[in-house]
Amino acid sequence: MKVYRIILKDLWDTIEDAIPLAPIDIQDGYIHLSTVDSVLETANLYFPKVKALVVLVFESEIFGETLKWEYVESRGMEFPHVYDECLRKNDVSQVLSLVVEEGLFVWEGD
């Protein structure tokens, strides 16, 4: 199964190894990830439309027991959360782009 991490493209372009945590990751004590079905909603809720975004794809198996599926009441669904210090660039299996169309993020090429 694949899990997804949304980050700013400008940040991704500078990463050499460890993918920095977002302030909410530090606050909550885990790394927030998404499912393929939640990526666009998450991007549109939490990221400014003036910034270019990429979606990092990970195979969930690489996280082992550090990956927990937890229900998020405000969103009404389970999300993958990684209880670890960071994500690693070399664990990314694919990088997808999001673009803004009519004021909303969509998958590039859709």
Name the strand (E) or helix (H) holding 57: strand 53-59
Residue-wise over 56-71: b if at least 16 C-beta within 10 A, else e?
Answer: bbbeeeebeeebeeee
With beta carbons less than 8 A apart as the criterion, state whether 98 and 12 touch: no
Q: What is the pLDDT of residue 51?
A: 81
Domains and CATH numbers, the chain: 2-107 (3.20.170.20)
Q: Residue 84, CB half-sphere, CA atoms under 13 Å: how many? A: 17
pLDDT digits (tens, 9 = 90+) for 5-39: 999 999 999 999 999 999 999 999 999 999 999 99
pLDDT digits (tens, 9 = 90+) for 45-98: 999 887 899 999 999 999 999 999 999 999 999 999 999 999 999 999 999 999
Q: What is the pLDDT of residue 90?
A: 97
Q: In the structure, what pLDDT confidence band is assigned to residue 109 with cuts at 50, 70 and 90?
A: confident
